[in-house]
A and B are shown apart, each in its own frame.
Chain A
Amino acid sequence: MLLVMNHFHLEMKDVSKSVFRTINGTKVKTSILSGLDLRIKTGELITIMGASGSGKTTLIRLINRLSELDSGIIMLNGNDIKNLVPMELRRKIGMVFQVPVVFKGSVRNNLAFGIKLWGGNTVIETLSRDAGIPENLLDADAGQLSIGEKQRVCIARALANQPEILLLDEPTSSLDALSAQKIEKLLLGLQKERDLTIIWVTHEKEQVERIGGRRLVLRGERLEDFHA
Chain B
Amino acid sequence: MLEVLAIAFTVLLIILSAAYAQRFGIGKEILLAGTRALVQILILASIILILFEMPLFWSFLVLAAMAAIAGHTTYSRSGKLENGLPVAVISIACASLLLLIPFFLMGIFPLEARYIVPTGSILIGNAMNVSSLAIDRYKGELKNKRSEVEAYLALGAKPELAAAACLKQGILSALIPSIDNMKNLGIVWIPGVMTGMLLGGADPMEAASIQIAIFTSIFVAGMIASSLVLYYSTDSFFTNAAQLKEDLD
Contact residues of A with B, CB < 8 Å? 20, 64-68, 82, 86-88, 90-91, 94-95, 97, 99, 101, 103-104, 113-114, 117-118, 154, 157-158, 161
Q: Are A65 and B241 in contact (CB under 8 A)?
A: yes
Name the residue on A nearest B238 (C-beta): A86
Min CB distance B172 to A, Å, is 14
Given contacts A99-B147, A101-B148, A103-B151, contact A90 B243 (CB under 8 A): no
Q: Are B147 and A101 in contact (CB under 8 A)?
A: yes
Check if B209 is an interface residue, CB within 8 A of chain A: no
Q: Are B156 and A91 in contact (CB under 8 A)?
A: yes
Q: Are B242 and A158 in contact (CB under 8 A)?
A: no
- Tell me the total A-B contact number using a CB cutoff of 8 A: 60
Min CB distance B158 to A, Å, is 6
Check if B247 is an interface residue, CB within 8 A of chain A: yes
Contacts of B239 in A (CB 8 A): 68
CB-CB contacts of B150-168 with A at 8 A, as 1s and 0s? 1111111110010001000
Contacts of B148 in A (CB 8 A): 101, 103
Q: Are A114 and B155 in contact (CB under 8 A)?
A: yes
Could you tell me the distance between the alpha carbons of A86 and B241 in the complex, rounded to whole angstroms?
6
Name the residue on B nearest A65 (C-beta): B241
Q: Are B157 and A117 in contact (CB under 8 A)?
A: yes
Check if B246 is an interface residue, CB within 8 A of chain A: yes
Cross-interface CB contact of A117 among B151, B156, B243, B246, cutoff 8 Å: B156
Could you tell me the distance between the alpha carbons of A104 and B168 in the complex, rounded to whole angstroms?
13
Q: Are A86 and B242 in contact (CB under 8 A)?
A: yes
Contacts of A87 in B (CB 8 A): 156-158, 242
Cross-interface CB contact of A104 among B153, B154, B165, B243, cutoff 8 Å: B165
Contacts of A86 in B (CB 8 A): 241-243
Q: Are B247 and A20 in contact (CB under 8 A)?
A: yes
Q: Are B243 and A65 in contact (CB under 8 A)?
A: yes
Min CB distance B13 to A, Å, is 41
Contacts of A68 in B (CB 8 A): 239, 241, 243
Q: Are B155 and A66 in contact (CB under 8 A)?
A: no
Cross-interface CB contact of A90 among B156, B246, B247, cutoff 8 Å: B156
Min CB distance A40 to B, Å, is 19
Given contacts A97-B147, A101-B147, A104-B165, contact A158 B155 (CB under 8 A): yes
| Category for how many chain B residues contact A | 10 to 19
Contacts of A88 in B (CB 8 A): 156
CB-CB contacts of B43-85 with A at 8 A, as 1s and 0s? 0000000000000000000000000000000000000000000
Q: Are A90 and B153 in contact (CB under 8 A)?
A: yes
Could you tell me the distance between the alpha carbons of A128 and B29 in the complex, rounded to whole angstroms?
60
CB-CB contacts of B123-152 with A at 8 A, as 1s and 0s? 000000000000000000000000110111
Contacts of A91 in B (CB 8 A): 155-156
Could you tell me the distance between the alpha carbons of A94 and B247 in the complex, rounded to whole angstroms?
25
Could you tell me the distance between the alpha carbons of A94 and B153 in the complex, rounded to whole angstroms?
10
In this complex, which of B150, B157, B241, B246 has the most chain A Cβ atoms within 10 angstroms of its Cβ?
B241
Could you tell me the distance between the alpha carbons of A161 and B156 in the complex, rounded to whole angstroms?
9
Could you tell me the distance between the alpha carbons of A66 and B246 in the complex, rounded to whole angstroms?
10
Could you tell me the distance between the alpha carbons of A20 and B248 in the complex, rounded to whole angstroms?
13
Name the residue on B nearest A154 (C-beta): B151
Min CB distance B96 to A, Å, is 33
Given contacts A65-B243, A66-B243, A68-B239, contact A101 B155 (CB under 8 A): no
Could you tell me the distance between the alpha carbons of A65 and B155 in the complex, rounded to whole angstroms?
12
Contacts of B150 in A (CB 8 A): 66, 97
Cross-interface CB contact of A157 among B155, B241, B242, B246, cutoff 8 Å: B155
Min CB distance A96 to B, Å, is 9
Q: Are A67 and B153 in contact (CB under 8 A)?
A: no
In this complex, which of A86, A90, A99, A158 has the most chain B Cβ atoms within 10 angstroms of its Cβ?
A86
Could you tell me the distance between the alpha carbons of A20 and B151 in the complex, rounded to whole angstroms?
22
Given contacts A68-B241, A97-B151, A101-B147, contact A118 B156 (CB under 8 A): yes
In this complex, which of B147, B154, B239, B241 has the most chain A Cβ atoms within 10 angstroms of its Cβ?
B154
Min CB distance B240 to A, Å, is 9
Could you tell me the distance between the alpha carbons of A160 and B210 in the complex, rounded to whole angstroms?
55
